[in-house]
Structure 1
Amino acid sequence: MEEDEKYSLIRNIAIPFAATGGTNFRGADLTNADFTQATLKSTDFRNTILICSRWHQAKMLDRVRPGSTYLQYSQVRELLVTGQGQDKNFDREDLRGINLQKANLADTSFISADLSEANLQDADLSRAKLKQTQLDGTDLTGATLTGAFIEDWGITNTTKLHGVRCEYVFMRLPTKEDPDPLRKPDNKQEVFADGEFADFIKPIFDTLDLYHNQGVDPRAVAIAFKNLAENHPEAELEIVAMEKRGNDKILLRAKTAAGSDKSQLSAEYFDDYNQLKALSQSQQLLLVEKDKRIISLENMVDTALKQPKFYTQGDTNMSDISGINIEGSSNVSGIAGNNSIANLGTISGNVSIALNQLPDATDAEKPGIKELLSQLQDAIVQSTYLSEEDKTEALEQVNSLAEAGKNPQESTKQKTAKTAITMLKGIFTGLPAVASLVEAGNKLLPAIAKLFGLG
């Protein structure tokens, strides 16, 4: 009866004998039933539905016939009775529908556990490990999540997060080398204000996750996603995150409209992607047809794959957290037709400020990065063929080149410069041959590339 591991077999035989004649709930639906302080010796709970049943201070819960319910685990029974689970390990446990309202779960590990439909109202989950924890339909109203590790946790649009108390979270599990991995907010001096955490995490409630696990083809990714967005405008697809995993794997996460059939969207995307991947480079180029949106996303994916660490997440602009400055250089959500047009004067002013921070050329007959970029800026602003949107995008690339020009021989800056030059070529490609900007681009871009060691 003391549940000594040595006598587990004997105990499993003894319990059914002891339960003979006891209360029988076998096969019953006990959803939301309250057994607070109840004496439950010899009770039969086999095949019983126990969603959100309450067990606080219940007596002799260790003498019941649990069947395959969560009551079969001694550690779980103790947690249900006492509400104290601090620093315990429930990794990979099936705890679907469990009622842990107001429980102390600080520093508890729920890695790969199933807590779907559970009641975690007002529970203390400070510093809890919630990696790959399933939380579909889980009620976290009023729960404390400060310091929790939420790597790949399984929240959905049915997860209740109203009133969650959370000052900061970590997007990865800690390691000895990195005890505070991917803290959000990024600034360690900042915390989420009341209600901000739910707003922060909201973009990934209902997402389409496109995981590419080998031999990623950036151009095929870009074309396939554009095709999917155009074929399903009702899905309102918008990329909100991109993450490199391993050497040649990448996760593309897109926000979708409520009710979208993500299974169908995923299947259609990968059918198209695999067909595109099988095409030759020349055949793919014919499909691109100078589409700057495809070139933009292709460059993003290509950049991600070439970096040792790459993770971006955002609602509109993808943010930089690993030394790759991509914010503003290309709005990936624009693939779905939702680009924001910044004020042209403000962008041009920012470019001028960045250029003034660069050194002047030592030889007047050999213009340096500052002089070449100044000429390019003037040509873009004065162009009569570019729309305001295209001018804004082009000047953003010039700004990226100006920032990279502070350390032109640094490898990460060279990669930034290469991406910006590629983007500018894509913008200029659609212009008439007689446009003065085309002539300026053909002259200036190779010279700029050479100064970055790219030509």
Structure 2
Amino acid sequence: MPQDFSGKNLQGRSFKGQDLTGANFSYAYIRDANFTNVNLRGANFTNAILRGANFSHAKAGLQRRSVIGLVLVSWLMSAMSGIFSGYAGYFVSFVSEIGFYNFYTGLTWLIVLTIFWIITIRQGLLAGLGAIALASTGAIAIAIAIASTGSIAIAIASTGNIVIAITSTGAIAITGVLASAVAVALALACASAIAVAVTIALASAVATAVAATSASTSAAVVAIALAEAFSLLSAYVGWRALEGDPKHAWIRSFAIAFASTGGTNFHSADLTDADFTQATLKNTDLSKANLTRTRFYESKKLDFARVDDTILVDTNVVTLLVSGNGRGQSYVGANLRGANLMGANLKDANLKQADIIAATFQGACLESANLTLTQAIDTDFTSAQMTGACVEAWNIESTTKLDDVDCRYVYLLEYPKPKTDDRERRPSSGEFKAGEFTKLFEEVLNTVDLIFRDGVDWKAFLAAFQKVQVENEDSELAIQSIENKGDGVVVVKVSVPPDANKEKIHSDFNQNYSLALQAVEAKYKALLQAKDEQIEEHRQKYTDMKEITSLLASKSINVQVESKLENKNMTNSNDSSRKVEIGSVGRDFNASGQALNLGEIDISGTVTNAINELPPATQADKPGIKELLKQLQTAIEEDDNLTAKNKEKALKQVKALAEASQNPQQEEKQDLAGDAITMLKGLVTGLPGAAKLVEDVNNLLPLISGCLGLG
């Protein structure tokens, strides 16, 4: 009598070598139990917790009585297929009979069956069914065309004969093929080659008998030949289905699901870290089971197990897990989540965009493998060999294990940069020393990458970043680096604590940046509209000033002009006074102070005034904040790579730094200075690496940060 362990706590218990045929382990807690060499045929582990259980060399599947029952079912369906095949041959044999009606009927059957078989073999049984339906529609259309000529009686008769012939052909063909395919699939899935041979022979024999008894003596040969051909083609579809032909995948799925009924059942069981090494798993139900890091190395007949809603639905994945050899193979976009590939050979394998979350590659060979864009969170690469691997934009975090990785160098780009052979090798020269590979990615493990593919609006960036800092006040966030990847792609790396919720931070920023970008764009549109309205006003002021100058130019005089301009394009209006000395016509025209600009406020003069309010350096040989900001201002003003708009933005940040330097101890001033430094870094990101401004900014900003106590 089968044993009942349902709902029991069997943690760590050993069942080694026992016969557990038909035993019930449903809902049992069987963590770390030992089932080595156990007969598990017909055992029920539905919803059981089997974490770490050892099933190596176990034999799962159907009990003998279940196998016999399924073989009988396959033979019954084979006989049914033979009957339909026989009738198909019988009706086609009409083509050899005397009489127009017989010939016409037989020819219709022959044409329809030929089309059906061609399409079924090339595109699948469902496509063949569609062809039958299309043929029926065409027959009706032809009849309607005949009726339009006035031959209504002929049209009705023709339509009736054609439609009956086509629908009969379709029904017999589809039913026969399906019965035979499922019969062969069942025989393959649950029994031996002998059972398959008997199944095919039975269908052939029945088809021959039906065709011979139904057809006339003169047509018997044709009927039998066509019935045999139909029967063999039906068996071929079943065989192709079990071989994994995607055109017949649904037949395979149905046959395996049916054949797994009564077999070993792991449905919805937790098999995390379980071991099925060299276990026999034919007719086993693994559907919806948790297969995280479950080991299937050298397991047998796994391709005949029911694996709905698991990574095993991909036959390429099954082959990899069983053989442990994926050298040079392509697994682009493959679902390998939780896969156990311990010690696997994946040299030169393409794992681009693969989902390897929670998978284990302990001791695996990943030399020259392509890991571009892989999702490797909580993935274990302990002691893996990764020399020459490409890790461009792979997604790893603190839960990714990189301990003791054997790696001499890696590449950060899948393809070389345009017109170069540079794939960003790391290290750039030489090789990693022990532990250096892991150290290289320690910073990556504690960062969130913010990727901008069309440049960055730094005002929107700062607004979004500050909001994310407030929303995640428990996590200390800081900008670690800004990288220009070319083609408008900018990557901002944000350092986060190891226990931070990176997904939430990334999502929060993207949402806030999108909203801030919309707000900035709306503000820009409003400013552009306001500027258009002021152009005429400023032009009129300029004309008036020229007329005043002409009147005063008739004699040499000194005039002090107080000019106050309102700049409505800026958030804050600034008033500026200018002293102008005007000489006679043909003589010098001098302006004291800054140049008079009636179109917009001179930002350079404003920056100069702000810097001049700072105290000079206390040591002659060591520049202070005042001298450093002057150098930065000069570098920006003399640069030819910045656009006028960006140069104005950069000078505004220098002004912000000068204002923050007046009282750097205040937290508000430090935030202002930090934002200004971030903006400056962003503005030079898109410049050529050899530009002098890039070098000056990289040299001066750390010194300025030090003076302001920003570290």
1:335-379 superposed Cα distances (whole Å, 9 cap, x missing partner): xxxx6x6xxxxxxxxxxxxxxxxxxxxxxxxxxxxxxxxxxxxxx
Q: Note if 1:65 corresponds to 2:306.
A: yes
The letter for the 2-side match of 1:207 is T
The letter for the 1-side match of 2:358 is E
Change (3 A) 1:27 1:329: same
Note the C-alpha offset of 1:103.
0.4
The TM-score normalised by the length of structure 2 is 0.41
Q: What does residue range 51-130 of structure 1 map to in structure 2 within 5 Å?
A: 51-130=292-371
Whether the aligned pair in 2 keeps the contact of 1:296 and 1:330 (CA below 8 Å) is: no
Q: Note if 1:210 corresponds to 2:476.
A: no
Q: Which runs of 5+ in 1 are unaligned?
A: 308-321, 342-385, 394-455
> Which structure shows the bigger proportion of residues in helix conformation?
2
Note the C-alpha offset of 1:272.
5.3
The equivalent residue for 2:408 is: 167
Q: Give the Cα separation in 2 of the matches to 1:17 and 1:140.
A: 39
Q: Note if 1:253 corresponds to 2:493.
A: yes
Q: Give the Cα separation in 1 of the matches to 2:478 and 2:256.
A: 56
1:2 aligns with one of 243, 248, 252? 243
Q: What does residue range 190-201 of structure 1 map to in structure 2 within 5 Å?
A: 190-201=430-441
The equivalent residue for 2:656 is: 289
Note the C-alpha offset of 1:22.
1.5
Note the C-alpha offset of 1:73.
1.6
1:391-424 superposed Cα distances (whole Å, 9 cap, x missing partner): xx9xxxxxxxxxxxxxxxxxxxxxxxxxxxxxxx
Note the C-alpha offset of 1:19.
2.3
Q: Which runs of 5+ in 2 are unaligned?
A: 1-241, 525-568, 572-648, 658-671
Whether the aligned pair in 1 keeps the contact of 2:410 and 2:426 (CA below 8 Å) is: yes
Q: Note if 1:186 corresponds to 2:428.
A: yes
Note the C-alpha offset of 1:287.
11
Q: Secondary structure at the match of 1:330?
A: helix
Q: Give the Cα separation in 1 of the matches to 2:424 and 2:310.
A: 36
Change (3 A) 1:323 1:200: farther
Q: Secondary structure at the match of 1:210?
A: strand
The TM-score normalised by the length of structure 1 is 0.62
Change (3 A) 1:59 1:323: farther
The equivalent residue for 1:242 is: 482
Note the C-alpha offset of 1:288.
6.7
Change (3 A) 1:17 1:298: same
The equivalent residue for 1:406 is: none
1:104-128 superposed Cα distances (whole Å, 9 cap, x missing partner): 0111111111111111111111111
The letter for the 1-side match of 2:368 is R
Q: Secondary structure at the match of 1:211?
A: strand
Change (3 A) 1:178 1:104: farther
Q: Give the Cα separation in 2 of the matches to 1:210 and 1:242.
A: 10
Q: Structure 1 residues 282-291 or 8-17, which shifts more?
A: 282-291
Note the C-alpha offset of 1:297.
2.8
The letter for the 2-side match of 1:194 is A
Identical-residue share of aligned pairs (%) = 33
Q: Give the Cα separation in 2 of the matches to 1:96 and 1:214.
A: 32
The equivalent residue for 1:298 is: 679
Q: Secondary structure at the match of 2:441?
A: helix
Change (3 A) 1:50 1:79: same
Change (3 A) 1:39 1:186: same
Whether the aligned pair in 1 keeps the contact of 2:389 and 2:410 (CA below 8 Å) is: yes
Q: Secondary structure at the match of 2:686?
A: helix
The equivalent residue for 1:133 is: 374
Note the C-alpha offset of 1:229.
6.1
Note the C-alpha offset of 1:35.
0.6
1:208-267 superposed Cα distances (whole Å, 9 cap, x missing partner): 333334463335545765786699775333333323356444221111123335535763
The equivalent residue for 1:414 is: none
Q: Give the Cα separation in 1 of the matches to 2:493 and 2:706.
A: 29
Q: Secondary structure at the match of 1:235?
A: coil
Q: Give the Cα separation in 2 of the matches to 1:134 and 1:22.
A: 35
Note the C-alpha offset of 1:296.
3.5
Change (3 A) 1:191 1:277: farther
Q: Give the Cα separation in 2 of the matches to 1:277 and 1:21.
A: 65
The letter for the 1-side match of 2:570 is S
The equivalent residue for 2:229 is: none
CA root-mean-square deviation: 3.5
Change (3 A) 1:83 1:261: closer
Change (3 A) 1:264 1:141: closer
